[in-house]
Structure 1
Amino acid sequence: MNQNYQNHARLVTGFHKVLGPLLLLGFIGSLFNLYKSFGNDTFYSASLITLLFLCGIFLFWYTRSFPLKAQDRAIRSEENFRYYLLTGKGLPSELSMGQIVALRFAPDEEFPGLVEKAVSEKLDSKSIKQAIKNWKPDYYRV
């Protein structure tokens, strides 16, 4: 399948659509259980279950955010190098990380012009992606 603006977002079914909701539902259920057990013998167990679900939610969040930060750093470096090869200059410092991530989908022919347009018109990442005429897919981002 060819990647384009409409289908470039990546959702992993087991992670985003199964594990995320299960953790959220389990946490809500554990809070209800904790409330119901307040003042009786099961309060300690209920609090441990709530704590475990809270730890699971933190793991879910950081398991996704840490690799994305590392990939963002790699993308910034790659796109800066690509811009340098095409123009002899580094990427403008006015670009945000979101803009740079969006620009990675632009082919070499469109890239320098789109960089200048993104800076001058302060385009957000969605507008940058929509302005790309010939989408350059990125199948490696997690």
Structure 2
Amino acid sequence: MPAPQNFKNYTRRDPLFHFILAPLLLLNFAFSIYITVHNWPSYQHTHLWQIVMSVVFLLIAERARSYALKNQDRIIRLEERLRLQALLPAADRSHIDELTVPQLIALRFASDAELPDLARRALTKNMDPKAIKEAIVNWRPDHQRL
């Protein structure tokens, strides 16, 4: 079972992406440049094409990761709006749409008991995500986020 989450340890790394895929793609790019420089001018078009394709692979990996994170952000936004709708007093529900997406994403870590007060403070004080996370007393873990 993972250690309890808090402000100091909530970030996660995807081992397959961060420690295998990204380094291998960077090595591929560096190796493509190395091969091109050391074998110039023979097969120059092929070697240059290999560099271009190495860049394309890096861009594909970055885009795929950013799309997945953007999708997670949209799901978290929806989940937190529904959660706030259920937990906030009727007078405060009309202000849910005033919270920014980064604020909603930060509020997902707040326990149900402290969420209404923290959401109100986030709106009135225009708190940034880091300040929201630091203000959380009872951390609600999110082990699904990448």
Instruction: Output the TM-score relative to the length of structure 2.
Output: 0.84
**Does residue 1:44 correspond to 2:45, yes or no?**
yes
Counterpart residue number, 2:28: 26
**Does residue 1:14 correspond to 2:16, yes or no?**
yes
Of residues 130-139 and 61-70 in structure 1, the stretch that sits farther from structure 2 once superposed is: 61-70
Instruction: Output the TM-score relative to the length of structure 1.
Output: 0.86
Of residues 112-121 and 126-135 in structure 1, the stretch that sits farther from structure 2 once superposed is: 112-121
- The 8 Å contact of residues 106 and 136 in structure 1, kept in 2 or not, is answered as yes
1:89-135: CA deviations, max 9, x gaps? 15533322111111000011111111111122222111111110000
- The 8 Å contact of residues 26 and 58 in structure 2, kept in 1 or not, is answered as yes
Counterpart residue number, 1:106: 110
- The 8 Å contact of residues 80 and 104 in structure 2, kept in 1 or not, is answered as yes
Counterpart residue number, 1:72: 73
* Distance (Å, rounded) in 2 between the aligned partners of 1:137 and 1:9: 11
1:41-61: CA deviations, max 9, x gaps? 321121121122111111211
Counterpart residue number, 1:137: 141
Identity %: 36
Distance 1:91 1:77, change over 3 A: farther
Distance 1:97 1:35, change over 3 A: farther
- Give the number of equivalent residue pairs: 141
* Distance (Å, rounded) in 2 between the aligned partners of 1:101 and 1:91: 16
- The 8 Å contact of residues 84 and 91 in structure 1, kept in 2 or not, is answered as no
Of residues 85-94 and 104-113 in structure 1, the stretch that sits farther from structure 2 once superposed is: 85-94
* Distance (Å, rounded) in 2 between the aligned partners of 1:79 and 1:91: 13
- The 8 Å contact of residues 84 and 96 in structure 2, kept in 1 or not, is answered as no
Counterpart residue number, 2:55: 54
Structure 1, gaps ≥5 residues long: none
1:49 counterpart letter in structure 2: Q
Q: CA RMSD in A?
A: 1.9
C-alpha displacement at 1:17, in angstroms? 2.5
C-alpha displacement at 1:35, in angstroms? 4.8
